[in-house]
A and B are shown apart, each in its own frame.
Chain A
Amino acid sequence: MKKSWLRDYTIKRLLYAVIIAWGILTITFILVRVGPSSPADKYLANIAASGQDVSQITAAIEARYGVDKPIFEQYSDYMVNLFQGDWGWSFSTSMPVIDLIKTHWIYSFQLILLSSLFAAFLGILVGIYSAVKQYTKADYIATFFSFIGISIPNFWLGVMLILVFSVKLGLFKTYYDTSLPLFSIDNLAALVLPVITLGTGMLAGYVRYTRSAMLDNLRKEFVTTARAKGLRERTVIGKHVFRNAMLPLVTIIMFDLGSIVFGGAYLTEIVFGIPGLGQISFNAIFADDYPVVVAVTLIGTLLVLLVNLVTDITYTYLDPRIRYD
């Protein structure tokens, strides 16, 4: 029975996702194309300086990149090409957009995945411990450090970690080395400092959220009942309290996952020289590289929609009372 409504719900959400993605794609496309800038801008000073006809060269350069046509024609061309798997040519990096994304997504993905795992695993463990040991020294220490973790800017923490662990102690390289094999211990070691940098803020947040969610549930009657039934404390905490505390945590973790893809990860990528999608999209915006801007926006949109869908489905497993039919 559950399978049937869940399948219908998933199909419906996927259809919505396609419509939303199309809407965002269209808005982004129009916004970036109707702006005053042109791919010819970067040449203008030199063209003017050498006494050439600015409008002629501008027209030629715009024709080279296909931005000389009416906006609707550009849009329809782009959509047709997109459906045929052609994401366009990145004129700020001189390669097909699809190849650019294929090369760089993995750098962002490994950073985000490992940071999320690091933050969620440690954050939940410390949060549970802090809640169970409420108002003890351990709780105060965890609270103190989680506030520090939330307050430290990523950028500053990254630079400090480099200065201490790379420059002073020589334990790690000062930058991420893309020549290392992806599945290797060396690559994992190269990611230690970036993961700590990106994960610390999230970890601190998870400690606070977990502690709060656990404390809410610890005071509920079903916990008293479980204890009265003589269940072991570990079972009460793990099976009854934590499972109920998971619901808001899943929302927050998934939300974080969506928001760091192109936001939080960017600063970490900058500090450690990781050529991920954050850096690619940021540079593309400043270079007026429309095909890349539109493509990464589309990918970001799809990821957020997917993460939301997975979150909603996860709810139904964590709390069987939840139904979407």
Chain B
Amino acid sequence: MLLVAILTSSCISCQAKQTGGSFIEGQSGGDAETLNWLLAADATSHSYIGHTIDTLVTYDNQLNIVLRCLARDIEVSPDGLVYTITIRDDLKWSNNSPVTAEDYVYTLKNLMFSDWLNYPYKGSWQEDVGGEKVLVTPEIIDETTFTITRQTIDAEFVYTVYDLIPYPKYIASKYEGDIEAFTQAPEFNNLTYTGNLGPYRFVEWIRNDRFVVERNPEYYLGKDIGAPYFKKYIVKLFSTSATRQAALEAEDITYTGIEPEQANKFRSLEHTKVYTVPTGGYTLLAYNQRANGWDGLENKAVRQALSMAINKEAMGQTIYLGFAEPAYSFIPVTSPWYDDESVVKYGVGPLYDKKRAAEILYQEGYGILLDDGTIKVTDKEGNPLQLTLVTNTGSKLVSDISAFVHRELADLGIEVKLKYVPWATLLRQYVKNSVPNTGQEPLSNGGPEAISTESWDLILMAFGSDVLAPSGSEIFFTTDGGLNFFGYYNPEIDELFDRVKSKEALDKNVRKDIYAELSLELSEEQPVNFLVFKMSNLGFQENVMGIEPGISTGHNYYLWYFE
């Protein structure tokens, strides 16, 4: 009986996971730039390549490591300086030769670290040693093992290593030293080398239209279970979210992201299902503390007062239609480093209080007391206060948030002048800054004396925070931070960011404490107003099975199948 039951259930399982069909993912927001990933600057290129070649690990919805090309997790030496990486021994290139530690080390040393290729993200593999930028040292140990040695400790460097993917040395060495030939190499631009490294194999890429891969029967994770189960995986590009969503509704595509206002409609359709999942994406309102911003913004109490006047919960409800939650620091609630006790919740609950905000501004000298006892917020001279909010054009969401901020601050008596400019203009004229009359090249952080070409007070922007390694956000908040365009300088914050990468932070409990201190300090200081972390709605056809919705929904996508 038991045997019959087992046979029956295994047979049902076989039938349920039959290979077939094309999974069509609808995307909008631009096509990839290249499949030659070392040259890519965009996320789409990496997402295309990811179908054909795996990184060392991926993460499940609880953010646990799931091994991919790694045979076992990376071993970090007790002193935190040596990383030992052991890859699987069954990885193969398309010519059937094994993928070895030599390929990984070659990719690092001869390609990513080389001068001729100028890999734009080489900085992730550099460390500061005695004031100089030094590259880490990769070394082959044996066929499947290599090490990466640092001279300084970085407790979160391991996350950089986890994302590594190799180039085949036997092909790449042909193009070594010749950037033009490397850029145009057909093997890299057509992904002809990926062997059994990914669930799918490249078929075609029609620019601005679709990227097509087919099932890879050799996939190292799928050969015993028959995965992946889709015959083809197609990424179809749409120029508008309206047509993308219409395609899902008409069952012309299998999966796409759903805009907040459409989520309920797709939930109610019989043939679709919608999952709401958290993301690391957040929106912030930067306060210009440089010399060409309103001088009040250099005062912490003023920044706190402004943040106290903007209702984050209402913003989440009215603009994101409930698909966002208030942000208090750069660490999302879903991050293992988030501590709800260690944040000051400006803009929420008792700390959303316009009356108190007006009182603070008055106490700081920015207001006058009217005869009826109310406070009118003004500048130091008693004139009406006008602030300029700059943001990018072309996004309804951004313009809705800007209008929301405009309304909230108008209640305080502050007139917010909204300025929408193209993204490139925003970067060149408002974000980049340099010290006047010095000939300094404009940078995103030209130092405390630097100012942007155009003056501004508030900039609305969206960023993504790394849920597992949020220390990357140091670029915004440290003195030397490459994207500290708003001019916030605080030695305590610098020290905390240093500590979060230091030897003591190798102990995860200590690291969590340091992150808690950082969150507390930044949410108290309000160098920017962290507004909301957004959630995503993922719309699938009802017959797609095997999905585990969460912050890392795609981690097991090679196991998805049609019912």
Contact = CB atoms under 8 A, between A and B. Distances in A.
B340 interface: no
A306 B483 CA distance: 51
Contact of A36 (B34, B428, B480): B428
A84 interface: no
| Interface size class, chain B | 35 or more
A45 B36 contact: no
B335 to A, nearest CB: 19
B247 A103 contact: no
B184 A50 contact: no
A284 to B, nearest CB: 10
A44 B427 CA distance: 10
Contact of A50 (B30, B249, B445, B482): B482
A175 B247 contact: yes
B428 to A, nearest CB: 7
A305 interface: no
A275 B482 contact: no
B321 interface: no
Nearest to B116: A60
Contacts of A45: 427, 444, 483
A51 B206 contact: no
A48 B237 contact: no
Interface string B239-250: 110110011011
A94 B205 CA distance: 11
Contact of A57 (B31, B120, B424): B120
A29 B529 CA distance: 44
B33 A92 contact: yes
Contacts of B262: none
Given A48-B444, A54-B443, A283-B30, A95 B207 contact: yes
A170 B247 CA distance: 11
Contacts of B238: 175, 273
A174 B441 contact: no
Residue in B120, B237, B441 whose Cβ sees the most chain A Cβ within 10 Å:
B120
A314 interface: no
B183 A64 contact: yes
A50 B180 CA distance: 25
A49 B123 CA distance: 9
B483 A273 contact: no
A51 B240 contact: no
A275 B206 contact: yes
Given A45-B483, A49-B482, A275 B208 contact: yes
A178 B209 CA distance: 8
A188 interface: no
B133 to A, nearest CB: 7
B179 interface: yes
A174 B124 contact: no
Nearest to A173: B252
A204 to B, nearest CB: 24
A47 B120 contact: yes
Contacts of A60: 118
B207 A280 contact: yes
A269 to B, nearest CB: 8
Interface string A45-85: 11111111011110011011000000000000000000000
A136 B121 CA distance: 72
Contact of A104 (B35, B183, B207): B207
Contact of A174 (B180, B239, B252): B252
Interface in A13-56: 36-37, 41-52, 54-56
B123 A52 contact: yes
A259 interface: no
A55 to B, nearest CB: 6
A182 B137 CA distance: 53
A274 to B, nearest CB: 8
B14 to A, nearest CB: 30
Contacts, number: 142
Contact of B122 (A49, A52, A63, A91): A52
B454 interface: no
Interface stretch (A140-148, A160-168, A207-215, A226-234): A160-168
B209 A170 contact: no
Interface in B198-255: 206-210, 236-240, 242-243, 246-247, 249-250, 252
A129 interface: no
Q: A46, A274, A280 — which one has the most chain B CB atoms within 10 A of its CB?
A: A46
A163 B246 contact: yes
A47 B119 CA distance: 10
Contacts of A46: 41, 120-121
B34 A178 contact: no
Contacts of A48: 443-445, 475, 482-483
A95 B36 CA distance: 11
Contacts of B482: 47-51
A191 to B, nearest CB: 15
A100 B31 CA distance: 14
Nearest to A94: B34
Nearest to B483: A49
Contact of B183 (A49, A89, A271, A273): A89
A198 B458 CA distance: 42
B247 A93 contact: no
B189 interface: yes
A61 B121 CA distance: 12
A271 B243 contact: yes
Nearest to A174: B247
B364 interface: no
A89 to B, nearest CB: 6
Nearest to A54: B443
Given A37-B424, A93-B207, A159-B243, A50 B123 contact: yes
A49 B213 CA distance: 33
A64 B207 contact: no
Interface string B475-490: 1000011110000000
A270 B239 contact: yes
Max count, chain A CB within 10 A of own CB: residue among B123, B126, B236, B249: B123
Interface of B: 30-31, 33-36, 39, 41-42, 118, 120-124, 126, 128, 133, 179-180, 183-184, 189, 206-210, 236-240, 242-243, 246-247, 249-250, 252, 424, 427-428, 441, 443-445, 472, 475, 480-483
* Closest 8 A/B residue pairs (Cβ): A50-B123, A60-B118, A275-B209, A48-B482, A94-B34, A49-B482, A49-B475, A174-B247
Given A50-B482, A94-B33, 6 more contacts: A46-B120, A46-B121, A47-B120, A93-B31, A174-B243, A175-B238
Interface of A: 36-37, 41-52, 54-57, 60-61, 63-64, 89, 91-96, 100, 103-104, 159, 162-163, 166-167, 170, 173-175, 178, 270-275, 279-280, 283, 287
28 contacts: A46-B121, A48-B444, A48-B483, A49-B444, A49-B483, A50-B126, A50-B482, A51-B126, A52-B120, A52-B133, A54-B441, A54-B443, A55-B441, A57-B120, A60-B118, A94-B36, A162-B243, A167-B246, A167-B250, A175-B247, A175-B252, A178-B209, A270-B239, A270-B240, A275-B209, A279-B208, A283-B31, A287-B33
